[in-house]
Structure 1
Amino acid sequence: RQLNLLTETYKKLKSEMCNAPQRLLDKYKPLSIELQEGILNLKSDIFFFDKQFIERGPMVEGLMPSEAAERVLLFQDRFEELVSLMERYQEGERLFMIPVTSYPTLTETKRVFNLLKRLYDLYGSVNRSIQTWSNTLWNRLKIDDIIDSLSEYTSKCRKLPKGLKAW
């Protein structure tokens, strides 16, 4: 009885093994088409995002720093979605052994976002400290703590990349 079960299982496995390449070939074409369509849509989405980022993003001239910091957060989620899609499609291209598409504007925007995030994280931290100090009674302020915080912020400002300081 066990021998029959083992023989039957072996035959099923062998049949599946023989059918697997054909099933993969059957799925290759539609999945490849879906991948190509996804890449075209992603390119279009990136173009639209770049346009919006330039026209309404955090680097628009004349923005107050608080408004620019809010815009970084507003654009961040959509940007991360685009990066995730890009990575997924590039993995698909590698899987199908087709040339991997590059997205130079998305790569540049990623660099800019990293710099903006560092800048506005520091900006937010400084503002929160100032707000805390403003809401503290004078006789409860710890001047040494304030001096330490200011020294820390000065150090962080000096460590910012040169490209960021040029902005």
Structure 2
Amino acid sequence: MPCLVPAEAGAADFGAAASYTVGSILLDTEELKLALTQECRVWKRAFGAALNRRASADMNHVFSFVDGMTKRLQRPITDLEDVRGAMAALRETLDFVKSLSFYFHRSGGGDWYRRHHRSSGRIFRSTQQTRAVLNDGNAELVDGLTYAWKNLDALVVQNQNTLLKIQPSMKADLLSSVQSFQSNVQTFCSEYNDRGPGVEGLDPADASERLQVFQTEFDQLWRKYITYSGGEELFGLVVNEYPDLQRIKRELSLLAKLYSLYNAVIDNVSGYYDILWADLNIEKVNTELQDFQNRGAIAT
């Protein structure tokens, strides 16, 4: 980083003599030295303000990341969702440290914040020494950043140790839960095929009600599927596939669109009977019916 202090001193020392005589011409250097000194001060203020803004933005970015990761890693780990969250936070922290290590031309992980502390500290101290910017408290925040990072670093180690400790029991619980989940999926798929909303000859109103019931049960199974699949991936196990569950997901999505349109048509058409002929807007009715027709074409 360029040093701001010698610039003004160099300008002040420009031309030791107060004047120079060249033939019949007398050159007075006092005004020139004063102008150069003032120009250097303006340049220092602009350069210092730019340094302050850059260092402040970098520090706020790191502060925001450290604060977010600290909150995530402080959460207790009690189930697979917590394991996934902790693993994701640890991975994001490692990637962030690598990016900052590359930025400061460092190799390795946990030492980057010392370099950031020295770099930001030099910037803020230089701007203060040269009175380039107002005192905005950034210099004091540098120490706070280092303290916050050390706390985060301790949380990282703590979470790593916790994950290693609970891994065997979590893995056993996962295998047991997957077996139970597979049985629940088979039961659900059998009931869906026999009594689901897609059964032929079913009354539309009845099918719409069944759709809501099976959609609710499916959503619960799907959340467990995401959790267990993520757990199998985390522990390096074979990720089980459930093709029937994937098929039902697509069918429920299509049926939801169709019966949503069906219910909208029934509600609108029923409302037409309550409108007096004198108040009937034929153009509006035609527009609504055309809209329903277009939505039906898209859904199918």
TM-score range, shorter chain: 0.7 to 0.9
Match of 2:207 in 1: 68
Equivalent residue of 2:299, what SS?
Answer: coil
Q: Percent identity?
A: 30
Q: CA deviation at 1:72?
A: 0.4
TM-score normalised by L of structure 1 = 0.81
Q: Which of 250, 267, 274 is equivalent to 1:128?
A: 267
1:96 aligns with 2:235: yes
User: Could you tell me how far apart the structure 2 residues matched to 1:86 and 1:75 are?
Assistant: 16
Query: For residues 40 and 148 of structure 1, do their structure 2 counterparts lie closer, same or farther at Cα, with a shift above 3 Å needed?
Result: same
1:108 aligns with 2:247: yes
Q: CA deviation at 1:17?
A: 4.3
The letter for the 2-side match of 1:144 is E
Q: Which of 275, 293, 296 is equivalent to 1:154?
A: 293
User: Could you tell me how far apart the structure 2 residues matched to 1:72 and 1:19 are?
Assistant: 43
Structure 1 runs not aligned, ≥5 long: 1-5, 162-167
Match of 1:57 in 2: 196
Looking at both structures, which has the greater relative contact order when contacts are Cα pairs under 8 Å and sequence separation is at least 6?
1
The letter for the 1-side match of 2:227 is R
Query: For residues 19 and 67 of structure 1, do their structure 2 counterparts lie closer, same or farther at Cα, with a shift above 3 Å needed?
Result: closer
Equivalent residue of 1:59, what SS?
Answer: coil
Q: CA deviation at 1:138?
A: 2.1
Query: For residues 59 and 101 of structure 1, do their structure 2 counterparts lie closer, same or farther at Cα, with a shift above 3 Å needed?
Result: same
Match of 1:33 in 2: 172
User: Could you tell me how far apart the structure 2 residues matched to 1:37 and 1:155 are?
Assistant: 48
Give a deviation string over 1:108-157, Cα, whole Å, max 9, x none. Answer: 00000011001101101111111111222222221111000011011112
1:82 aligns with 2:221: yes
Query: For residues 132 and 36 of structure 1, do their structure 2 counterparts lie closer, same or farther at Cα, with a shift above 3 Å needed?
Result: same
Match of 2:182 in 1: 43
The letter for the 2-side match of 1:25 is L
User: Could you tell me how far apart the structure 1 residues matched to 2:158 and 2:267 are?
Assistant: 65
Question: How many positions carry a matched residue from both structures?
Answer: 149
Q: CA deviation at 1:42?
A: 1.0
User: Could you tell me how far apart the structure 1 residues matched to 2:249 and 2:158 are?
Assistant: 45
TM-score normalised by L of structure 2 = 0.46
User: Could you tell me how far apart the structure 2 residues matched to 1:25 and 1:154 are?
Assistant: 58
Structure 2 runs not aligned, ≥5 long: 1-146
The letter for the 1-side match of 2:172 is I
Deviating more after overlay: 79-88 vs 132-141: 132-141
Would you identify which runs of 4 or more consecutive aligned residues in structure 1 move more than 2 Å?
Answer: 16-21, 23-26
User: Could you tell me how far apart the structure 2 residues matched to 1:96 and 1:33 are?
Assistant: 11
Q: CA deviation at 1:65?
A: 0.8
Give a deviation string over 1:11-32, Cα, whole Å, max 9, x none. Answer: xx5xx949954x4333111100
User: Could you tell me how far apart the structure 1 residues matched to 2:268 and 2:232 are?
Assistant: 48
Q: CA RMSD in A?
A: 2.3
User: Could you tell me how far apart the structure 1 residues matched to 2:193 and 2:235 are?
Assistant: 34
